[in-house]
Amino acid sequence: MDVQFYREQGYTPGIPVMDRDFVDRSLAEYERLAAADPERAGFGFQNIHFQHRFAWEIATNPRLLDLMEQLLGPDLALTNVRFLCKDGTKHEDAYFAWHQDVAYYGIEPPTAVVGWVALDDSTMEAGCLEVIPGSHRHGVVRHELSAPAGNVLRANQVIPAELIDEAKAVPIEQQAGTVSFHDAALFHSSRPNRSGRRRCGVQLGFVSPSVSEAEKFVDQPRPPGWRWHPFRAVLVRGEDRWGRLSMREAPFPVPA
């Protein structure tokens, strides 16, 4: 992994971390859950790693954590695990507007890394992740609440159009079994899935335990009914020498 490129551009391309057998077993578990709970299938399976070992093993894949250490250091807290599965036949209008992940996290300093694990091949046609290289160097910018219907983001947020130069956008196409990383302050989005097939992936959030967390750090517009949710953080590497996060117990052992 080219760490210097990540520092300058704010992202990495897809990096292989899982073999085909692991991917297939993970997809089989996801499909079983989706069949039992179709209302949540697509975007509603969040932080299920506390109940389902397969999700925990995706998030704590040793190769993935080795790479994350290069970006954040030896002490790693897992903050979020969310399945994002845009079905090309069911979610044809679903998209993620241009945004920064960290804008609504409520952490100080606003430093975090997001991993995106592809369980299906993620192509431009299927609505892969797109990023504006180097945009993380702008810091956290003001978002708006005016995005049209179809925006999957929880606060319906969007970065103002005048701050986005889509001519500079770079797609991150990934093969199943790879992970890409991006700075949580990087401008990024994904278009609707027009491929006619599913594009399933897992979004992972990581921070150093040295960050502080509180609602007062969210300086963004909030739609009616929106509530700030603190992390359900779990230490997955190293140690917590700061005690600034309300750590949860690991639900399963961290794979060696």
Tens digits of per-residue pLDDT, 79-90? Answer: 999 999 998 777
Coil vs helix vs strand at 209:
coil
d(CA 59, CA 203): 9
Tell whether 247 is covered by a domain: no
Taking residue 218's Cβ as centre, other Cβ atoms within 10 Å add up to 17
What domain range includes position 111?
Answer: 3-135+150-237
Q: Give first-to-last CA distance, the chain, whole Å.
A: 21
pLDDT at 91: 74
pLDDT at 88: 77
**Helix, strand, coil content of the chain in percent (nearest 5):** 25, 25, 50
Specify whether the CB–CB gap between 232 and 124 falls below 8 A. Answer: no
The β-bridge partners of 116 are 180, 203
Tens digits of per-residue pLDDT, 45-61? Answer: 999 999 999 999 999 99
Tens digits of per-residue pLDDT, 86-116? Answer: 987 777 789 999 999 999 999 999 999 999 9
pLDDT at 190: 96
Tell whether 130 is covered by a domain: yes
pLDDT at 20: 97
Residue 134 has pLDDT above 90, yes or no: yes
d(CA 49, CA 17): 18
pLDDT at 256: 80
Specify whether the CB–CB gap between 205 and 101 falls below 8 A. Answer: yes
Average pLDDT over residues 138-154: 89
Tell whether 245 is covered by a domain: no
Tens digits of per-residue pLDDT, 195-245? Answer: 999 999 999 999 999 999 999 999 999 998 899 999 999 999 999 999 999
DSSP state of 247: P
Tell whether 196 is covered by a domain: yes
pLDDT at 1: 94
pLDDT at 67: 98
Can you give the CATH number for the domain in which 28 is found? Answer: 2.60.120.620
d(CA 125, CA 107): 34
% the chain with pLDDT above 90? 89
**What's the structural domain count of the chain?**
1
Specify whether the CB–CB gap between 71 and 16 falls below 8 A. Answer: no
Tell whether 251 is covered by a domain: no
pLDDT at 147: 67
Provide the b/e sequence for 113-126 (b: ≥16 CB within 10 Å). bbbbbbbbbbbeeb
Q: Where are the alpha helices (DSSP H) in the chain?
A: 3-9, 20-36, 53-59, 62-72
Specify whether the CB–CB gap between 120 and 201 falls below 8 A. Answer: yes
Tell whether 191 is covered by a domain: yes
Q: What does residue 103 show for φ and ψ, rounded to 5 degrees?
A: -60, -30
Tell whether 140 is covered by a domain: no
pLDDT at 15: 98
pLDDT at 167: 97
Residue 199 burial by Cβ neighbours in a 10 Å radius (0-12, 13-18, 19+): buried
pLDDT at 93: 87
Tell whether 83 is covered by a domain: yes
d(CA 175, CA 128): 11
